[in-house]
Amino acid sequence: MSTVEPVTVAGDAELATGHSVSRVHRRGDDSAVLRMSEAEAAQIGNDPSTYDDDERVLLNMGPSHPSTHGVLRLMLEMEGETVRRSKPVVGYLHTGMEKQAEQLTYLQGCTNVTRMDYASPLFTELAFSLATEKLLGIEVPERATWIRMLMCELNRMASHLLFMATNGMDLGAVGMMIYGWREREEVLRFLEKVTGLRMNHNYIRPGGVAADMHDGWEADIERLLELIPPRLEEYDILMTGQPIWRERLQGVGALNADEALALSATGPILRSTGFAWDLRRDDPYLAYPEVDFDVIVGSYGDCYDRYAIRLNEIRESMWIVEQILDNMPSGDYRVQDKKVTPPPRVRIDQSMEALIHHFKIFTEGYKVPEGETYAAVESPRGELGVYMVSDGTSKPYRMHVRGPSFINVQTMPHLMQNGLIADGVAIISSIDPIMGEVDR
């Protein structure tokens, strides 16, 4: 048994959920995590000596279940309707992206990582670009930084609207699916105008962004900012104050800050416990120190808090977007370093050097100096980090993505313990995992 004292960082007795952090350290049958292999699970009915214990049933949920959260499989050990232990089984979407990244150049790398967290792809692109820029030792122009910030905040809004939609649908508020997507389509339309694609944009690249904003983007953003707040009010009417919604989410899946930290959970899960941790404020990147925003924090660590945090984060993101709209600097949208940035297409006809640079950058790729680094951003799901090791060639030697969903999935058994299976659905939804990021 462990003799380590769990570190209590945020132990405010008033916010305690009644269970102590030691429950997440348990290893045996008293743990919430069902540590049973497939082979063992298959043998359960075969051993007559276990027949007396017919109280507990092993139920399999997934991997093919209504596709809101992708291919997650849960092995649930249940007593009636109550979940005692559970085991999230992942890997059904493992794509070998980290291995693939070793085959692609740094310029191509963003096309790969963008498909990890497919609900908010610009964040992974951003983290990858920040890590590459650290290794290259280049500095991105101011306008590019502000454009990145704008696009990331819009992506955060789109991701949280997706959460609203799928959370509603999972809990039976099927109309919420339609409402959430309606707003998301508007944001996606703006993203399509700027990046060319609705999803998986490959827009934020090492050195800046792929293209400048289109003419009239200010008017489009203003239109978006006029359009969405009244619709968020609709969500408040439809859900926030509604008794059924509250009954389904309040008190469900609660955890306290020490447990969340011990389980390495970040993002809305950690913030819902009352622990105010947001990388945009506490470990800033891009130009976040220059914009004003609040970090939304919950009190009870339950599903309702996570829902409310995400709803209000949409409002905070809109506030940040408004400030960016007022303060967007002029300048280059990417670093003017010929070795890293491809030349404008027009110059290729005019200059031999431009042609050679274009050729080298797109076929061989630019070489990045040796080193290792870690860069993290605050994605809608938590801390999204990229650990990159470079060996001096034009392809990353090792690229590891710290996907927040992969780590947040570990909280699932602890949140679901002793809850009903219907609450289990609410809990999975409130963790908001994106399986592309979990499995990579």
**Segment 384 to 403, residues that bind another protein, using CB under 8 A:** 385, 387, 389-393, 397-398, 400, 402
Q: Is 314 among the residues that bind another protein (CB under 8 A)?
A: no
Query: Tokens 């704008």 map to which residue?
Result: 150
Tell me the closest approach of the beta carbon of residue 389 to another protein, in angstroms: 5
| Interface with another protein (CB under 8 A), residue from 185, 247, 292, 364 | 185
Helices (DSSP H) in 265-398: which residue ranges?
A: 268-272, 279-282, 303-327, 345-350, 352-363
Closest among 286, 296, 285 to 319, alpha carbons compared: 296
CA-only gyration radius of the chain, Å: 23
Over the window 62 to 81, marking each residue x when it contacts another protein by CB under 8 A and - when it does not, the resulting string is -xxxxxx-xx----------
124 contacts 434 by C-beta, under 8 angstroms: no
The residue (of 293 and 397) whose beta carbon lies closer to another protein is 397
CA distance 296 to 319: 13
Scanning 33-41, 142-150, 240-248, 293-301 for contacts with another protein by CB under 8 A, the matching segment is 33-41
Instruction: Specify which residues 74 forms β-bridges with.
Output: 61, 88
Q: Is 136 among the residues that bind another protein (CB under 8 A)?
A: yes
Over the window 217 to 236, marking each residue x when it contacts another protein by CB under 8 A and - when it does not, the resulting string is ---x--xx-xx---------
Closest among 391, 127, 411, 438 to 283, alpha carbons compared: 127
Closest among 193, 203, 198 to 113, alpha carbons compared: 203
Find the binding residues for another protein in span 400-429 (CB under 8 A).
Answer: 400, 402, 406-407, 409-410
Q: Is 57 among the residues that bind another protein (CB under 8 A)?
A: no
187 contacts 220 by C-beta, under 8 angstroms: no
Q: Is 186 among the residues that bind another protein (CB under 8 A)?
A: yes
Q: Which pairing describes strands 208-209 and 371-379: parallel, antiparallel, or unpaired?
A: unpaired
Find the binding residues for another protein in span 243-262 (CB under 8 A).
Answer: 261-262
Tell me the closest approach of the beta carbon of residue 48 to another protein, in angstroms: 26
364 contacts 114 by C-beta, under 8 angstroms: no
188, amino acid identity:
L
Tell me the closest approach of the beta carbon of residue 5 to another protein, in angstroms: 8
413 contacts 68 by C-beta, under 8 angstroms: no
Q: Is 364 among the residues that bind another protein (CB under 8 A)?
A: no
Scanning 51-59, 134-142, 291-299, 325-333 for contacts with another protein by CB under 8 A, the matching segment is 134-142
Tell me the closest approach of the beta carbon of residue 282 to another protein, in angstroms: 6
Q: Is 289 among the residues that bind another protein (CB under 8 A)?
A: no
